[in-house]
A and B are shown apart, each in its own frame.
Chain A
């Protein structure tokens, strides 16, 4: 054999020539600076690059985890970051020091201090999702952590110090919890808990790809679990009312959840994205009893009746018609799906209409948000990605040999004002072109400049703080506050008229994937220099108008102080 011949023709470069197919798939794309969201390297106090140990046996939960919570843990007005971590100890135990969560207190823009120890929030469970909410109406935010294993509830003493009250609260949730949501389903003034549950995982089953290499198992190998609804009794305890509320007996493979008024009757319903199973739309009778109605509402499956791999959810009015759309992120070879509200209680898969299909079909989406990133007065879409099965290594893939084949870029879709979404090729990322395996996504203004920034949690345990540099318009953040409850009025709708547009945001709708962002709601106001009308529709059905006209500020609207 003449091996010398190997190198002669390589010089000719014929390897890349192919009529009809432009270039090789392996040609790296030129690295362009992100134009809207730039991952910040100079974050002090958070070891963002710190990864979690992996054993290498493709332990399925590690490919699904990666959540974070942005909340004001100490009541000082800025957002702190709770980082969910997940690692197995010796012999595969799910509670270990390596998997202990971390709390970072914000001291200034991009400056944090690790206060895990003093806060007592170093939960050692295998964390999946978490959410903050004031369970005792004492004015501070408490924290619920959905684990693979036993879930935990932490009560905030008001100064950023927490205590584990899981047992005292009567909470006994074991298995695989995923996204968590605080919501007052029975309107008794106390925040109840909705916990999405994934599947009955069995770590004795292992998966392989077609080449025989260990690979993450598909969810189809396991049975789904019933979600849980825990009623807040108002005395620091919770009661599992899943059965009496109608939630039990409908196992899905729940990953994402939002709370919104799906049928337009004024009370809060719940929508759950299930992985490979029909999604659930829990319609509330107003007293906290639910009927699963996704199919009849057009929200269970896609246009072709297919159950997709639902991961994250975002809800918002994309086309400004006064009805909310729902976006659900999915697996590669499925598009992310937009369910458009066609009338109260009726939805249809309008993914193609909104222009989302071709741009999302090659990616596996997890965390997502509808937010006016450029503050031009319409909602844009952010989706963060990462494969669950290895494929060709993406240019810029990071995470070492283990994670590189799973890495994918994250996406920003800008709304052209009509609801049509356009992918910004360089909308979001790291200046180096680094691409990772992203899962969780939380929103909040981290640097106090008025525009929404992002936190992205990755499957390898790294976390990325992402600065918004692409927002030009005016803005407004609103905290809808109910003094009678002494907390954020979760479930209320804030309506702002400015610049000839009316925009609405629901407070505490939840969404995304395993993550939870700022409880304040954000409005981009474009070139508007003043607010015409600001109104709050409170969960009890009353509405108030507030005398706020100034843009570019954070306002607290207190129930009873409007007109």
Chain B
């Protein structure tokens, strides 16, 4: 077999082709072996024609070169000219039967529309090199389509013995198991897929049928709905094919694909160069300007981004996506009025677009225009009920205008679609608490702290939800746990000390501990906030030191002189001071 390190072989072969061309030019006596296949150039993009002609030019000077034939095959293959492409691949194979890449590419070329032929080509490639995981996956998928699960499974397993992170391998395995009715094994394979790529729509769709097999129609429906808003197809990492695409794919569609791959590889400059090249050939092409702007968004060059969005939308005033993305960009950089104008144009052009409705709705809401904003967000939700982003924005809108019941419904929907969305869970918890559904609120906050114990607010809210239901022990336990996780967090320390000092149930109070924390807050950390001294005062009162409590309460009130703060808090402390003067410790009330 002959296969250099994946990722370089294709470029190497192209280089060989060029070298052979130079050698031939020196000798001048090379003989050719076959005719270049007939290629119908009618309607082809000029860049495609140019690339074909370049490769034919190379071939005509070196007909014995497998690389020249193969490279022409790649150009034809990538540009939907499968018949002559396979002819060229066959010529390449004929000239270099030990080379893996040509039967492999021929197999890919034949996959759609000629499965048997593709399997033959892949079998040939496999004989030359059975260690290339993408080949094994492609073979496995084709064989699986024919229902031969045992053979397909062996290929997927072989592929994963080289690379266990290939999601297509695990997905293939899951499918084999599902056909064979082994749902337990299929479930394990799908779990691995989820670990590798939680946003895969393909995995979610397969999972849907897995749930169906388990007899859980609700989960099946949910998974299927979720799949519609995730990545529809998982790409197969294939360095050989990728190199071929990056080297020989030309014309608008391939430029877009190449740009996507460059951006995914964080090669932003290369992607920008690609579109500069395209614009050099077709300077007024609005689509190219749009693509340039999209890539440029990965840079901080606002001038570049705006100039290309402007060129795109002026060049094609009906380009809804141009206005939509331009609007989203303007919103991102804080130019709200220009963003609104662009998004309104987009809405006129694409009134049913959930993205436009959602973005404009969110923009209007953030500007306080709920009258227009909410109907737009509702329309976006109706268009894409499975879009968790859209539903989150609508939930936030309901919350903003104080319609907590509707907000709760939407947050619930968001979390059904995407249970990992912590922000939505937090907001839902807040809304539930405001609705008085404290146990449900506590459930949300406790889920958040279980998955991410590093954030203050969910701990505090969880404790307060417990407190609201007189679950003092749970509240104190929560704050103790929070303090262990966030020992330097003053807010959590303060809440704990306050509760230990003022809890209505004596068995949970601990004035000494409260005082210790309060001292730490005021003297150790140096807090000058009135509430810190208020806590200290309460803790002193709890241990019977009313003199000390009076002193600290007065100290707290004195701090309001420098910082007016919350008048209600001041009056609360004044009331508590009266209590301490009367030797009455303070107890929180629910």
**Which residues of A line the B interface, CB within 8 A?**
1-3, 5-10, 12, 14-22, 24-26, 200, 204, 208-214, 223, 278, 295-296, 298, 300-301, 303-307, 332-333, 335, 351-353, 357-358, 361-362, 389-393
Does chain A have a CB within 8 A of B524?
A: no
Task: Check A211 against B44 for contact (C-beta < 8 Å).
Answer: yes
Does chain A have a CB within 8 A of B146?
A: yes
B90 → chain A, closest Cβ, in Å? 5
Contacts A295-B221, A303-B179 given; 19 further ones with Cβ under 8 A? A7-B35, A12-B33, A18-B93, A21-B93, A25-B86, A211-B48, A211-B79, A212-B45, A278-B224, A295-B220, A295-B224, A298-B212, A300-B224, A301-B208, A304-B205, A304-B206, A306-B205, A358-B145, A392-B114
Report the nearest B residue to A293, measured CB to CB.
B217
Q: Chain A interface secondary structure, helix, strand, loop or mixed?
A: loop
Task: Kindly state the separation between the CA atoms of A178 and B251 in the bound complex, as whole angstroms.
Answer: 35
Q: List, in ascending order, chain A residues with CB within 8 A of B124's CB.
A: 19-21
Q: List, in ascending order, chain B residues with CB within 8 A of A12's CB.
A: 33
B414 → chain A, closest Cβ, in Å? 21
A15, A19, A211, A358: most-surrounded residue (chain B CB, <10 A): A211
Task: Check B224 against A2 for contact (C-beta < 8 Å).
Answer: no
Task: Kindly state the separation between the CA atoms of A260 and B79 in the bound complex, as whole angstroms.
Answer: 44
Report the nearest A residue to B353, measured CB to CB.
A223
- How many residues does chain B have at the interface if contact means C-beta atoms less than 8 Å apart? 72
Given that A17-B94, A211-B81, A392-B83 are contacting pairs, would A358 and B252 also be in contact in the complex, using a CB cutoff of 8 Å? no
Report the nearest B residue to A205, measured CB to CB.
B318
Task: Check B94 against A212 for contact (C-beta < 8 Å).
Answer: no
Q: Quick one: which of B176-227 are within 8 Å of A by CB?
A: 178-179, 202, 204-209, 212, 217, 220-221, 223-224, 227
| Among candidates A18, A304, A305, A390, residue contacting B80 with C-beta atoms closer than 8 Å | A390
Given that A25-B110, A362-B115 are contacting pairs, would A212 and B48 also be in contact in the complex, using a CB cutoff of 8 Å? yes
Task: Kindly state the separation between the CA atoms of A335 and B145 in the bound complex, as whole angstroms.
Answer: 8
What does the 1/0 interface line of B33-66 toward A look like (CB < 8 Å)? Answer: 1110000001111011000000000001101000
A9, A17, A204, A393: most-surrounded residue (chain B CB, <10 A): A9
Task: Check B87 against A15 for contact (C-beta < 8 Å).
Answer: yes
The 4 closest A-B pairs by CB, nearest first: A212-B45, A305-B205, A352-B147, A392-B83
Q: List, in ascending order, chain B residues with CB within 8 A of A304's CB.
A: 175, 178, 205-206, 209
Report the nearest B residue to A333, measured CB to CB.
B112
Q: List, in ascending order, chain B residues with CB within 8 A of A1's CB.
A: 60-61
Task: Kindly state the separation between the CA atoms of A204 and B208 in the bound complex, as whole angstroms.
Answer: 36
Q: List, in ascending order, chain B residues with CB within 8 A of A209's CB.
A: 79-80, 253
Task: Kindly state the separation between the CA atoms of A353 and B147 in the bound complex, as whole angstroms.
Answer: 8
Task: Kindly state the separation between the CA atoms of A361 and B141 in the bound complex, as whole angstroms.
Answer: 12
| Among candidates B78, B202, B227, residue contacting A210 with C-beta atoms closer than 8 Å | B78
Task: Check B35 against A357 for contact (C-beta < 8 Å).
Answer: no
Task: Check A24 against B45 for contact (C-beta < 8 Å).
Answer: no
Report the nearest B residue to A355, measured CB to CB.
B147
Task: Kindly state the separation between the CA atoms of A21 and B123 in the bound complex, as whole angstroms.
Answer: 9
What does the 1/0 interface line of B7-46 toward A look like (CB < 8 Å)? Answer: 0000000000000000000001111111100000011110
Q: Can you list 17 A-B contacts with CB-CB less than 8 angstroms, sorted by A residue number?
A: A1-B61, A2-B29, A9-B63, A14-B34, A18-B90, A21-B120, A25-B110, A25-B114, A209-B253, A212-B251, A213-B42, A213-B80, A335-B145, A357-B145, A358-B146, A358-B147, A361-B146
| Among candidates B32, B110, B212, B227, residue contacting A9 with C-beta atoms closer than 8 Å | B32
Task: Check B79 against A210 for contact (C-beta < 8 Å).
Answer: yes
Given that A212-B44, A391-B82 are contacting pairs, would A24 and B90 also be in contact in the complex, using a CB cutoff of 8 Å? yes
Task: Check A305 against B223 for contact (C-beta < 8 Å).
Answer: yes
Task: Check A392 against B82 for contact (C-beta < 8 Å).
Answer: yes
Does chain A have a CB within 8 A of B231?
A: no
Does chain A have a CB within 8 A of B515?
A: no
Q: List, in ascending order, chain A residues with CB within 8 A of B111's CB.
A: 333
Task: Kindly state the separation between the CA atoms of A335 and B90 in the bound complex, as whole angstroms.
Answer: 28
Given that A18-B90, A303-B209 are contacting pairs, would A332 and B147 also be in contact in the complex, using a CB cutoff of 8 Å? no
Does chain A have a CB within 8 A of B584?
A: no
Q: List, in ascending order, chain B residues with CB within 8 A of A200's CB.
A: 352
Task: Kindly state the separation between the CA atoms of A389 and B252 in the bound complex, as whole angstroms.
Answer: 18
Does chain A have a CB within 8 A of B117?
A: yes
Q: List, in ascending order, chain B residues with CB within 8 A of A358's CB.
A: 115-116, 145-147
Task: Check B253 against A208 for contact (C-beta < 8 Å).
Answer: yes
Given that A295-B212, A303-B178 are contacting pairs, would A211 and B114 also be in contact in the complex, using a CB cutoff of 8 Å? no
Task: Kindly state the separation between the CA atoms of A26 and B47 in the bound complex, as whole angstroms.
Answer: 27
Report the nearest A residue to B78, measured CB to CB.
A210
Does chain A have a CB within 8 A of B453?
A: no
Q: List, in ascending order, chain B residues with CB within 8 A of A25's CB.
A: 83, 86, 110, 114, 117
Task: Kindly state the separation between the CA atoms of A21 and B125 in the bound complex, as whole angstroms.
Answer: 11
Given that A304-B178, A361-B145 are contacting pairs, would A332 and B112 also be in contact in the complex, using a CB cutoff of 8 Å? yes
Task: Kindly state the separation between the CA atoms of A390 and B112 in the bound complex, as whole angstroms.
Answer: 11
Report the nearest B residue to A408, measured CB to CB.
B113
Task: Check B123 against A20 for contact (C-beta < 8 Å).
Answer: yes
Task: Check A210 against B103 for contact (C-beta < 8 Å).
Answer: no
Task: Check B115 against A361 for contact (C-beta < 8 Å).
Answer: yes
Does chain A have a CB within 8 A of B91?
A: yes
Task: Check A305 against B208 for contact (C-beta < 8 Å).
Answer: yes
Does chain A have a CB within 8 A of B560?
A: no
Task: Kindly state the separation between the CA atoms of A392 and B114 in the bound complex, as whole angstroms.
Answer: 10
A10 → chain B, closest Cβ, in Å? 6
Report the nearest B residue to A220, measured CB to CB.
B232
Task: Kindly state the separation between the CA atoms of A204 and B320 in the bound complex, as whole angstroms.
Answer: 13
A1, A20, A389: most-surrounded residue (chain B CB, <10 A): A20
Task: Check B205 against A296 for contact (C-beta < 8 Å).
Answer: no
Q: List, in ascending order, chain A residues with CB within 8 A of B459's CB.
A: none
Task: Check B209 against A20 for contact (C-beta < 8 Å).
Answer: no
Q: List, in ascending order, chain B residues with CB within 8 A of A305's CB.
A: 204-209, 223-224, 227
Task: Kindly state the separation between the CA atoms of A163 and B43 in the bound complex, as whole angstroms.
Answer: 45
Q: List, in ascending order, chain B residues with CB within 8 A of A306's CB.
A: 202, 205
Task: Check B48 against A392 for contact (C-beta < 8 Å).
Answer: no
Task: Check A392 against B113 for contact (C-beta < 8 Å).
Answer: yes
Q: List, in ascending order, chain A residues with CB within 8 A of B146's CB.
A: 352, 357-358, 361
B206 → chain A, closest Cβ, in Å? 5
